[in-house]
Amino acid sequence: MTTLKKRTILLVSLLLAGFAGSFLPGRISVTLTPSVKHRVWWLSQDTSHVRHGQYVLFHLPSSRLDGMTVPETVVTGQDIRVIKRIGCDEDEELKRKGRDFYCGEEYLGHARERSQQGEPLTPFLFSGKIPSGKAFLVGDHPDSFDSRYFGLVEKSNYQAWARPIF
């Protein structure tokens, strides 16, 4: 697809989403990182129906990252607000085999041994049934900084249901 076609689709998507936004509760968000495959999102604050495979905007307190090697896009001492996909939800079985993660039999990704800057990374050390009120969140990119490193996320930290537009 040409760059012009991509830009045209993006512009039309934003215009349609903006028009819909005047009638529907929610707002548009744009993400610039390659962590997830979509760039334009419709955010709805109703997170009560979000399930496995869907995307959420969530808040991760900076204290959860203490002592952890983090990507350079994460500012030390600042909370993270980011969109990720629910890879494994409460009451589902999360399996860790070495540095590979699975939800049941579904492959979620591999925790890298080193960051892109060459620093050692420690994978989240958990296997078992995900407790109620928590989820394992993943990005779509192999280098995504997600639950493979920072662990389970409290559902109370969900801020919006993120539905991809483009």
Q: Is residue 127 part of a domain?
A: yes
The pLDDT of residue 117 is 84
How far is residue 21's CA from residue 143's CA, in Å, rounded to a whole number? Answer: 33
CA distance 40 to 55: 12
User: For residue 25, what pLDDT is reported?
Assistant: 62
Instruction: Look at residue 80 and give its three-state secondary structure.
Output: strand
- pLDDT value of residue 5: 77
The answer to whether 129 and 93 have CB atoms below 8 angstroms apart is yes
Q: What is the DSSP string of 13-26?
A: HHHHHHHHHTTSS-
In a domain, 3, yes or no: no
The residue ranking higher by pLDDT, 66 or 136, is 136
Given pLDDT bands bounded at 50, 70 and 90, which one contains residue 38?
A: very high
Residue 11 domain flag: no
Within a 10 A sphere around the Cβ of 100, how many other Cβ atoms? 14
- Residue 153 counted as domain residue: yes
Tokens of 23: 């009638």
Range of the domain at 140: 27-164
- The pLDDT, as a whole number, for residue 59 is 94
Region 143-161: mean pLDDT is 95
Instruction: Using the structure block, give the residue that is written with the tokens 């249901």.
Output: 161
18 in a structural domain: no
* Residue 123 belongs to some domain of the structure: yes
In a domain, 20, yes or no: no
pTM of the model: 0.82
Q: Is residue 86 part of a domain?
A: yes
**Tally of structural domains, the chain:** 1
CATH of the domain at 113: 2.10.109.10
Residues paired with residue 162 on neighbouring β-strands, in sequence order: 43, 55
Would you call 12 helix, strand, or coil by DSSP? helix
Average pLDDT of span 111-137: 94
